[in-house]
Chain A
Amino acid sequence: MEMVMTLLLIIVLLNAIMVVRTKHLLAACIIFMAQSLVMVLIWILLQSPDLAITEAAVGAGVSSLLFFLALKKIQAIDQGKENSAHEK
Chain B
Amino acid sequence: MNLQILLENRVEAAAIILFGIGLTTLLLNRNLIKKIIGFSFMDSAIFLFLASEGYIAGHTAPIQDAAGSLSAASFINPIPAGLVLTGIVVSVSVTAVMLSLTVRLYQRFHTLNLDEIVQLAREANEEEEEAND
Q: Do chains A and B touch in the complex (CB under 8 A)?
A: yes
Q: In the complex, what distance in Å separates the CA atom of A74 from the CA atom of B113? A: 13
Stretch at the interface among B65-73, B98-106, B119-127: B98-106
Q: In the complex, what distance in Å separates the CA atom of A32 from the CA atom of B10? A: 22
Residue total for A at the interface (Cβ-Cβ under 8 A): 40
- Chain A residues positioned under 8 Å from B52 (CB to CB): 46
Do the beta carbons of A81 and B110 come within 8 Å of each other? yes
Q: In the complex, what distance in Å separates the CA atom of A19 from the CA atom of B11? A: 20
Do the beta carbons of B51 and A48 come within 8 Å of each other? yes
- Sample (17) of A-B pairs whose CB atoms are under 8 Å apart: A9-B10, A16-B21, A16-B22, A17-B21, A28-B33, A29-B33, A35-B41, A42-B48, A46-B54, A48-B54, A48-B84, A51-B88, A59-B40, A62-B92, A70-B33, A74-B102, A74-B112
Residues of B within 8 A of A (CB): 10-11, 14, 17-18, 21-22, 25, 29, 31, 33-34, 36-38, 40-41, 44, 47-48, 51-52, 54-55, 59-61, 63, 76, 81, 84-85, 88-89, 92, 95-96, 99-100, 102-103, 106-107, 110, 112
